[in-house]
Structure 1
Amino acid sequence: APGEEPPGDGPEPWVGGLHNSNNNASPAGRLGPRNGRPFSPFGARAPSAEPSYVERVVLEIVESERTYARDLRSIVEGYLGKIIDAEEPLLRPEQVSALFGNIEDIYELSSNLLQNLDSCDNDPAAVAVCFVTRSQEFDIYTQYCNNYPNSVAALTECMRNKQQAKFFRECQEQMRHALPLGAYLLKPVQRILKYHLLLQEIAKHFEHKSGDDYEVVVEAIDTMTCVAWYINDMKRKHEHAIRQQEIQSLLLNWKGPDLTTYGELVLEGTFRVHRVRNERAFFLFDKALLITKRRGDHYVYKNHIPCSSLMLIESTRDSLCFSVAHYKHIKQQYSLQAKSAEEKRVWTHHIKRLILENHHAIIPQKVR
């Protein structure tokens, strides 16, 4: 029932689950004593009374944020600060920028959020309000996450330099960190994708699933889910953009414009094509379908069809087949055989969507 303790003795399953993906836990998975005394944040209660599931989740949010803020501080002061204060520049300015991104902004936000959380008196609704009121501020994580691949590349470059690698090792030893800088730079990416999961744990076990308190928890979940979704979407687009550049560099006999002019890469796949001996590699962009042939690591250009001129013909005889063609050259169809019904469904779905989107784009306003 809502609000009840999870059954069983010993550490509950959720304790490990909440900690594992963020590395912000005490070694045993439970929060340890602070200043030598056990936590007693739940107001006046009998010494033997156990906190409820929701109270434990709230405590997890607050204390893991405390650990997270401390980790961020160690990056800002223990690494970045020392680089800035060094008499002789250890890293080039562009290396510093790529390596740390906007980590100082992230640290400031986490510190402010922690102050708010500490003043909530472990009230789940008050904790939820902290996230709702700061919803706009979490946008800075998008910048950090988008820069994260650059951070990894910059750190890899630094570790190849003996002097820089020695400096980072010394910083790590001075702070007595078991993990190197790279593990700490990953923490903001992990943390921002964790908030909505923690808040969901509160909602799942909330005693009264109605009223203002519950509604604000749901609003906080929606807020942080949107942030997580947006960051994941940006990450996906970033990965697709990198792949697009890679395809461009491997494309032979292409006389057209830069592939970025065709928008985002939506799908790519290899298909058997009717009456063609070798398989063809297809790349579906927002504005065009690119048809190529593999040659080693390269792709040899064969054809491309703008999505505004693309036709899709679905086979009624073969559940795995579908055809594409330029509507002005209907006889030059490409009859593709998918490897599974799901692959066919995904490709035909996106082709239909892009045909519609591009079709609307070229219809004159007067005709609409």
Structure 2
Amino acid sequence: MFLLGLEATSELSWREQRWGRHFLEAEQSFVAVYEPYCKNWAKNIRIQDSRPANGPSPVSKPIARMQEKMRTWDAQLINFKSELPAFIVKPVSRVCKYPLLIDSLLKETSPETYPYYDELSNGLASMKRVVDKINAAERQVENIQLAASLCDRVIDWKGLNPATFGALLLDDIHAVSKDDKRRECYVFLFEEIVLFCVSAPGFPPVTQQFGNPHWRPWQTPLALKSHIFVADIMQTQSPETLPNTSSYPFELWCTGKENSRVQLWTIHMRYTSHREQWETEIKPFILKCAERRAHERSLRRTRRVPVVSTEQAEHSGFDSDDSESADTPTAESSQVSKLPSI
């Protein structure tokens, strides 16, 4: 119906063409169709990409048999490894381009020259919502798979239990600094904890992996260098940056047990959008933990008995690593007397 509607609209005169209406009417249908499609696509692409060259297939036997048959059809139909993924993702790419197409129409019109300008603008908003939901669905699948793979990739959890981390929200490679130490890390934001990891001993550092076409960051064995419990994060801050900067710092101010010292961790993002994502994802969990602490204090005052704190383990800086030195020398950090205003 959507395609038929577009074709019928194209036959009308310009002032009668209501392009925005079709996108508004199709919003729920697009979400119902493409959200599960993207979930399955993201899941299958990661499974296929992680399959060993000569090892057993991680998929079911019927699917594995179909894969083998399709490989024999490469010359006649499509290359299974290089062309099939691009072919499967085409419908998703088309939907994600709709906002760009509608926006180009809006730029060529105005409320004075086009009677359905507002409707077209609303159509643009509806397609942006569709794309956001599709991207969120794809990220959800990828995060579930990535979180599961970490259980095997991290060589030593140092007493931490991955089952208590909650859902994985964000991950990327960032420069991280604390106490005048700075290094590139794999950073994982879970609902309950932030992990800072580096490549395991015997594997190239992350800075040497960029540009390697065979690098699979989700398969690299990792060493856990440090962590922050979300319950210990008191507040976050995004300092102002100079124009044309290449780094966007995101500060985490945390409670510290050592000499009651407040600890400052800075994650240096490559894009301002990354920093905004962190703000959006982590703020609700910080507020939730603050409310839980307030509730515990209220119970303690009411019952006048000690309440076992749910706060976990004291933080430390990066562990020493003889094989990989920090970018800057260590310096004694001064005690922070108060937090900066947000």
TM-score for both structures, normalised by structure 2: 0.55
Verify: 1:152 aligned to 2:152, yes or no. no
CA RMSD of aligned residues (A): 4.5
Q: Tell me, what secondary structure is at the counterpart of 1:149?
A: helix
Equivalent residues of 1:271, 1:281 under 8 A apart: no
Q: Deviations over 1:86-133 (max 9, x none)?
A: xxxxxxxxxxxxxxxxxxxxxxxxxx2222222222456433222211
Task: Give the partner amino acid of 1:134.
Answer: A
Q: Tell me, what secondary structure is at the counterpart of 2:76?
A: helix
The answer for the alignment partner of 2:161 in structure 1 is: 257
Residue 129 to residue 311, structure 1, CA distance change in 2 (3 Å): closer
Alpha-carbon shift at residue 224 of structure 1 (Å) = 0.8
Residue 339 to residue 193, structure 1, CA distance change in 2 (3 Å): closer
The answer for unaligned runs of 5 or more in structure 1 is 1-111, 174-178
Equivalent residues of 1:287, 1:358 under 8 A apart: no
Equivalent residues of 1:313, 1:323 under 8 A apart: yes
The answer for the alignment partner of 2:146 in structure 1 is: 243
Residue 127 to residue 265, structure 1, CA distance change in 2 (3 Å): closer
Alpha-carbon shift at residue 136 of structure 1 (Å) = 0.8
Residue 252 to residue 130, structure 1, CA distance change in 2 (3 Å): same
Task: Give the partner amino acid of 2:131.
Answer: A
TM-score for both structures, normalised by structure 1: 0.52
Task: Give the partner amino acid of 1:266.
Answer: L
The answer for the alignment partner of 2:287 in structure 1 is: 356
The answer for unaligned runs of 5 or more in structure 2 is 50-56, 58-63, 204-220, 240-247, 299-342
- State how 1:39-54 maps to structure 2 within 5 Å: none
The answer for the alignment partner of 1:288 in structure 2 is: 193
Equivalent residues of 1:244, 1:259 under 8 A apart: no
Verify: 1:219 aligned to 2:108, yes or no. no
Q: 2:106 aligns with which of 203, 210, 225?
A: 203
Task: Give the partner amino acid of 2:18.
Answer: A
2:45 and 2:189 map into 1 onto residues whose CA distance is 29
The answer for the alignment partner of 1:126 in structure 2 is: 18
Equivalent residues of 1:273, 1:280 under 8 A apart: no
- State how 1:328-343 maps to structure 2 within 5 Å: 331=260, 334-336=263-265
Paired residues in the alignment total 247
Alpha-carbon shift at residue 244 of structure 1 (Å) = 2.8
Equivalent residues of 1:267, 1:283 under 8 A apart: yes
The answer for the alignment partner of 1:40 in structure 2 is: none
1:151 and 1:122 map into 2 onto residues whose CA distance is 42
Compare CA radii of gyration and give the structure with the larger one.
1
Verify: 1:117 aligned to 2:17, yes or no. no
Moved more, 357-366 or 201-210: 357-366
Q: Tell me, what secondary structure is at the counterpart of 1:271?
A: strand
Equivalent residues of 1:251, 1:299 under 8 A apart: yes
Task: Give the partner amino acid of 1:164.
Answer: M
The answer for the alignment partner of 2:233 in structure 1 is: 310
Verify: 1:164 aligned to 2:67, yes or no. no
- State how 1:95-106 maps to structure 2 within 5 Å: none
Residue 162 to residue 293, structure 1, CA distance change in 2 (3 Å): closer
Equivalent residues of 2:187, 2:196 under 8 A apart: yes
Greater relative CO, 1 or 2 (CA 8 Å, sep 6+) = 2
Q: Tell me, what secondary structure is at the counterpart of 1:119?
A: helix
